[in-house]
Each structure stands twice: as structure tokens, then as C-alpha cells.
Chain A
Amino acid sequence: MNNTDKVKQSLKKRYAKEKRFQLYGKIAVMTGFVFLGLLLLDIITKAIPAFQSTEILLEIPLDRHTLELSSNIALNEDTLSAIDYAGLVKKSMRQKFPDIKKRKDKKQLYKLISSGAEFDLRDMVISKPELISTTPLLIWVKADDDIDTFFKLQTRTSRVTDKQAEFVEQLILQDQIRTSFNTTFFTASDSREPEQAGIKGALLGSFWTLLVTLFLSLPIGIGAAVYLEEFAPQNKLTDFIEININNLAAVPSIVFGLLGLAVFINFFGMPRSVPLVGGLVLSLMTLPTIIISSRAAIKSVPPSIKEAALGLGASHMQTVFHHVLPLAMPGILTGAIIGMAQALGETAPLLMIGMVAFIVDIPGGVVDSATVLPVQIYLWSDSPERAFTALTAATILVLLAFLAVMNMLAIFLRKHFERRW
């Protein structure tokens, strides 16, 4: 038997092996995809209701007589905010169901409407005083979260009474109940009432926190990377620092939270729950990531470019800033964005520094109390109201969307600005 035959014999086996191996790979990839798909499917199905809210049509008379405003009273903020909007809303509800007399039933009737309806009405009137006229105002107000859930999902829970179900059926018949896009989710901040809760506060909190993180960790990270890679003398101390930076990347994030609590809040006396401290802590956490990826990017700049610049008489500094850094920038930015994405999704260290508080105000700067998206998710997932489940899922979706965008940006930067030589 010659070699060709031997090779032929072994060929079959080899191809079979190759096919088997490819199959394993495919199975692994498929498994991953299935799990990812399940996860996304679960989140999306849960999140969909959160993007819609149930509204009920109210007809509210806004003439001066009903409001007990004599015609000589000026319509300014003081006089307008003094109006009993709660009474107006309740009255309007009573008018819808005039045959209800019992106090208990009335109370249930009022509960159809979100407790925030009167405030929405007030804000509307104050911003548009010309609404005070003889024509009654037709306004869609948010339904209570239980009714919302009942109407959207058509499943009754014990929190919806028989009487309330009856009311809803009547409203449906009169075409006075509908679902519409839930803008509140994006424009409001946290609330105890799910139908009034939104993510704007958390979103801005995340924004301010990340801004602080970016402005701290990017310059420090790049500076440290450039120094370590280009200028630091090769000695034991440098080696020691290198090892520690690498180890720092593997430190559990909650440890950074403890550190932030001890140093920034207890020692420096910074306020709790503010994006500034959150950003500081997250900077500590992302620094190793940025330093390591920046060093890798700097290292990948071919030495021939450096030599060319040095050979022309550029100083070491000039070489680094004219050639090495610009060429390493895509890599550095990719690392920074991935570090930022990590920071965006981080919860544990922020819990330690008090960014887990219930904050209704939308933060206007880095020293306003705030919470962040992942913490908001954590908070809502703990809430008993059923509607919060949907809000949690929706917030996760938003967070995932931001992470995806950031990662895509990183890929874009890498693909587009990476120079070939």
C-alpha cells in the first residue's frame, strides 16, 4: 500500500472529525442564541404593556360659576392653584355614573382614576388659563395602575373589585376608555404609583454619573497608559504597578463601592446619592479597563512609525503625541466605551454610596440626588405593584438599547478609524 492510499484512508476519518467539531461549535452557538432569545423574548413581552397606558375620558366643566370664581378675580397662578381640582375630577366621575349613591361605591369609582389626574389637570389649567370658559374641557386622564393592568391584559386580580369591573365595562360601552402610548415613562421620574412612574430621572442620573466617569477616567486612564507604556523606566516599581493595575480590573465592583463610601463620603464628606460620587466610584472601577486597553492599543502601534519620527528628530514627547496617540486612539476609545458600558450597567457600588434612594426629582446636575438606570431596575423589581414588573422590563430594554448603541459605536470606531500600515 502506498502513501496515497494511506492518506486516502485517513482522510475520511479526518473529515468526519472536522464535521463533528463544526457541529459542536454550531450547537454551542445555537444554545447561546436560544438563551439570549428566551431572555429577550421574556423581557420584551413583559415590557410591552409598560409602553402603553390606559386613559379615561373626563368631561370637566371649567366655567367661572362652577369654579366659584367671580368675574373680577384675576386668573393668576395663585388663584388657579387654589381651585379644588380633586373635587372637579370626582364630580366628573360622578356625572358619568349618576345612579351611584353609595359612599363605598363612589370611593371605588374614584379609584378608577390615577391619583395623579388632579395634578395633571391643575398643571394643564395653570399653563393655559384660557381653558376657563363656558365650554367644558374634555380630557383623557390616566387610569389607576390596577385598572390599567385589568384593561390592557384583560385579567382580573383581587385588587379590582366587581363593581370596578362593571364600571370599566360601562366605560368601554361608552367608548370612554382607551390605551395610548405611555409618554409618562420617558418624561416622569420615579413614583409610588406605577402609572405615574418614569425613567427620566434615572436616565439623567446615569447621564450625569457617566459624564463624571468619562471626564475622570479617560484622561487619567490615557495618561497612565501613555506614561507606563512609553516613559516609565523598566524597574521593579513599574512592574509592581502593572501587576496591581491588572489585578484591579478583577476586583469585585462592590469593593469599589465600599471604598467610595469610606473615602469620598465618610472621609471627604461628599453628599450621598449624588452622581458626582457615583462617577468617582465608577471611574475607579473603569480605570483599569481603560488603562489596560489603552496600553494594548499603544503597544500595537508599529515601532517603525515611532522610529521614523525619532529618526526625523522628533522628541519622545512629540513622537507620542503626533503619532502614537492618534494611531492608538480608535483602540483607546473602544476600550473607553466598553468601560463606560460596563459602568452604565453597574449597580452594586452605587448601592453602597446611597444612589438607591427613592428620588422623585429629576437631577439637574452632578450634585443633585439621583439614581441610575440599573438601580432603578433593582428598585422597581422589588416593588409589589404588578405594573412595576412591566416597568422593570421596559427599563431593562432601555438599558440594553443604550449598551447596544455604545458597543456599536465602539465597533464603528474600530472599523472606521483603524489605520492600516
Chain B
Amino acid sequence: MSINTSAKISQPFQANTEPMLEETSNKATTKSSDNKSDITIGENIIENPKFSTRNVDVFYDDKQAIFNASLDIGRNEVIALIGPSGCGKSTFLRTLNRMNDTIPSCRISGEITLDGENIYDKKMDPVLLRARVGMVFQKANPFPKSIYDNVAYGPRLHGLARTNSELDEIVITSLEKAGLFNEVKDRLTAPGTGLSGGQQQRLCIARTISVSPEVILMDEPASALDPIATAIIEELIDELRVNFTIAIVTHSMQQAARVSQRTAYFHMGKIIEVGNTSQIFTNPRHQLTENYITGKFG
């Protein structure tokens, strides 16, 4: 830590540069030892969670990406995962629907349960899991097919509609829920890739909710969008909360503050602090969270 002389006050109240946040500073000093014991500050464990992770370690070959992460995700809540790049938040998100299975070098230990079922159990089919836990990606990635086919793909895959009219209904309600139907109702057969960035992302959300998942994971869903499109997506997330549990990774702290009820701060593969979003953004308890949120050097 450096001595900052500019903080010295040359005014009537000649004050020394005594630390402003004595106690949190103390936490920061104890933090270094905390790193070893991997204690997460705050309410990472809640009652009756939808998703529950306990002591999860993730490795890529020999490199450990997640250290002893324990975090619960409540029902019908939006939880924001924030942290600097490479802190493991995306990796953590991807362990929740076993997208990391596609990476051969990835190893996971610990326990992750969805409604009490261990998702890494041999009996758990990753295909079924991914139907229950949908995912929206950073870059809008509609299939190069028509808008209709994009949304209909999931239901067709899982045989959710017996007749064409049932499928039509699923597609329409999904598009409606994603707030896109009115914009595309006249051109459902037009290619999905021809939409604007924000519309594409909403199409991807419609595609995700078409299979009625229980949880939606969002990996920086608005990072490539302009503020208006971002606001629309954020509003949508808030509406979706009624029916789904949502975990969202975001680089924009303002976005995390706006859309989430709880926030988890990741740092170097560890969950440093979890708490109510308003608490995290007004009064974080850990110095690292404080530094990240106020934009200070970690």
C-alpha cells in the first residue's frame, strides 16, 4: 500500500490520514489470511435455494480457476456475479449447466445441486440439465435460420409440441415473453441474423425460454449492446424473474446494481463476498469488493 500525500488536509481541521474505514481496513488485513481458508463474507448460504454449490473447485489442467466456491441461488431471484476479468465468474456460471463438460481439460470437484439433486451425479443427464438450466451468451448467437426456427429449435429437439399449432403457440409466447413478438410478428420467416443486436439477443432469450427452463444463466448478455437495447434487456430480466431464477454475469456494475437482488463478488477464483445488491453497492464489507466497486486498484 502506498502513502498518499494528497489525502493530507491543509484546512482548519488538520487531520492526519488515519484510515477512513478502520474496521474494513482491518478486514482487508485479515483478508490475506482469509484467502487461505477461503471464507466467503456475507450471505452466500440461504434457505431453500434453487441452486446450491458447496466447496466447488474447478481446474483447467493444472490451473485452478475456482477455489472452494460455496454459493446458493434463491428461487425467482436475480443474482449478479461480478468481478474483474479472469476472476472465474463465467467459469462458475458454466459449471451450473455443465457447459464446461465440453472442455476436455476441465475438472470439477465439490457439490452442485439443483433442487437438491447433484447435477454432476452419474444419473444426471447433461442434456436434460441444459433443458432445465438455459443459457444466454455474451454475443447474440442466433442460428442462421429463420426467427421462427430459432425459437422452435429447442421445443422440436425435446418434442415439447405435438402439433404444429402447439409449436406456433410456444414460439409466439416465447417471443412475447422476450418482448420481441411485436417487432417481428410480420417477419417470422426472416433470418434471425438479420435483426439488430438487441433484437438478436432478445431472440436468443426467447429461444432459451422456449423450452421453459427453471434457471436462466446469462453471460454478459448486454455487453455488446447500446444503452437503449441494454435497458430493454434489463427490463426483460426483471420481468422474467417472476417465472425463472436468473444468474447473470456482468462487467457493468451499474447493470448488476440495477437488475439483481443479490450480488456475488468474485476475485481470483474465489467468491469474496455475497450480499444483497443494495448492501454490496452501498456498504460492501470486504476491502476487495470495496476496491472493485469504487474502481480502485485491487
Contacts and interface: CB of A to CB of B under 8 A. Distances in A.
A and B touch in the complex (CB under 8 A): yes
A10 interface: no
B97 interface: yes
A390 interface: no
B13 to A, nearest CB: 51
Contact of B99 (A233, A307, A316, A419): A307
B127 A315 contact: yes
Interface in A406-421: 419-421
A267 B160 CA distance: 55
B130, B193, B208 interface centre (most CB from chain A within 10 Å): B130
Given A304-B141, A323-B143, A233 B204 contact: no
A234 B104 contact: yes
Contacts of A316: 102
Interface string A321-337: 01100010000000000
A316 B126 CA distance: 11
Contact of B104 (A233, A304, A312, A322): A233
A310 interface: yes
Contacts of B157: 312-314, 318
Interface in B214-247: none
B130 A304 contact: no
B127 A311 contact: no
Given A318-B157, A420-B193, A421-B193, A312 B141 contact: no
The main secondary structure of chain B at its interface with chain A is: helix
A173 B142 CA distance: 78
Contacts of B131: 312-313
B208 A312 contact: yes
Interface stretch (B76-84, B132-140, B262-270, B285-293): B132-140
Given A234-B104, A421-B193, A313 B139 contact: no
A310, A327, A419 interface centre (most CB from chain B within 10 Å): A310
B298 to A, nearest CB: 30
A34 interface: no
Given A313-B127, A313-B157, A315-B127, A302 B104 contact: no
Contacts, number: 66
Contacts of B208: 311-312
A7 B130 CA distance: 60
A310 B104 contact: no
A308 B128 contact: no
Interface residues of A, number: 22
Contact of A312 (B102, B139, B144, B154): B154
Contacts of A322: 153
B211 A421 contact: no
Contacts of A233: 104
A234 B204 CA distance: 31
A305 B192 CA distance: 13
Contact of A311 (B97, B139, B193): B97
B144 A311 contact: no
Contacts of A421: 141-142, 144, 193
Contacts of B137: 304, 307-308, 311
A248 B208 CA distance: 44
A322 B154 CA distance: 12
A308 B204 contact: yes
Given A233-B104, A318-B157, A313 B144 contact: no
A21 B253 CA distance: 51
B207 interface: yes
Nearest to B207: A312
B185 interface: no
A322 B128 CA distance: 18
Given A234-B104, A313-B157, A315-B127, A327 B144 contact: yes
Contact of B211 (A234, A309, A312, A323): A312
Interface string B196-213: 000000001001100100
Given A305-B144, A312-B157, 10 more contacts: A302-B141, A307-B141, A311-B97, A311-B99, A311-B135, A312-B207, A313-B130, A314-B157, A315-B127, A421-B141
Interface of B: 97, 99, 102, 104, 127-131, 134-135, 137, 139, 141-144, 153-154, 157-158, 193, 204, 207-208, 211
| Closest A-B pairs by Cβ, 7 of them | A304-B141, A313-B131, A311-B135, A313-B130, A419-B144, A312-B154, A308-B141
